[in-house]
Structure 1
Amino acid sequence: MFDSLKAVRNVQIISHGGVAPLSKKQIVGLIINLPDANKNLTKDEFNKIYQLYQTFRKDTTKSVLDYQAYVQVCSEIIAEFEKIAPFKFYNGEDSVDLARESDARKELRSKIRQVDASIRAATETLENAISDLGDLTIDDVVTAYNEGKISSEERERLINSIECLQTIIQSHPQILEELKKGKIDLLNQLRDTY
């Protein structure tokens, strides 16, 4: 309880141009309203929100934040929660009016969520490609064909598949790097709107 009161006091200091230490545990306690989430969301959505809430509550590391840094941390936390359900259904009173942010900020936050989804999809594609390829090589396929174990059609299909999987694996680091740079650019744009 004292931790919550101290967090509210520190947010007031930050809101008036000062700096103060806050942890993600404290911030999520201020900006997420679980009773509203329970009332406004489906049971499945609420359970996911609650699970994410508990994950953030484990982060007790405090950082000294000014207003801009505080809003950026809030934005990042909210972006994670909005992957589950719109923030307006469970925003806390001390959210620095983030729920009423400008359309430009909402658009930037939406783009950040899209980039996050693309990063997850690219990572999943890589994991699947590595799993599908396993230890199979083109030499293995040619050997199996030469030994009469597979047909020429199977040989061509397997070689095409291996080449495709190898291309995915080789191009993934560059794709992932570009997505991460794009996310950083969007976060910087969002920060600059405050």
Structure 2
Amino acid sequence: MQDKQSVIDHLKKKHKSKSRILATGTIIALIIALSPLFFYSYLIIPSEVSYKTFLGTIQSNYYQDVQVLFWVLFGKLAPFMLLVIWFFTCKHWWYHVILIPMSMYIVQIVVTLNDDLQFTDSKEIIFIIPIIALIATLSYTIRINIFDRIYGVDLSQEFKRVKWNGKIVKIPADSNLDLPEVHDNEEFKE
């Protein structure tokens, strides 16, 4: 009797899990399908220097028109929103690389909101280069770890047989794989 109840409980949990995945997928698909509407929603904003909303007054100093400000802003928010969805739903090992264009759009959004700048999108690469370096390093490290797990390569053994000056220590064919660490001033001895 208890086994039957545990099976029923397991099936209920599995059904809840599947319905939750279906609901999440439906919401994500709906957001993606409505993203063009989000982008073109700047058209409902009047073409004026200031625009009063229930949240407060929005003024466009740099663009001289609130509709142009929202056109530029939504042109950056729409792809950013799609990249965020892609980042959180991607199952590939390289999904961290998606953070690079996301960071680019974040910088562009900040530049757009800062009305005092003379030229937008001109020097953002200075802010993005450290992010690219960090994410590329992280992604490459993850790739190496996955490669090692898939092919069973133990790089620690390889590092033990390579000296710091670049010389590779010769290992006899009948040697075991558990190698002692070799320093530059000594040779490998079995």
Same fold per superposition (TM over 0.5) = no
Higher relative contact order structure (alpha carbons within 8 Å, sequence separation ≥ 6):
1
TM-score between both structures, scaled by the size of structure 1: 0.28
**Bigger Rg, which one:** 2
- TM-score w.r.t. the length of structure 2 is 0.28
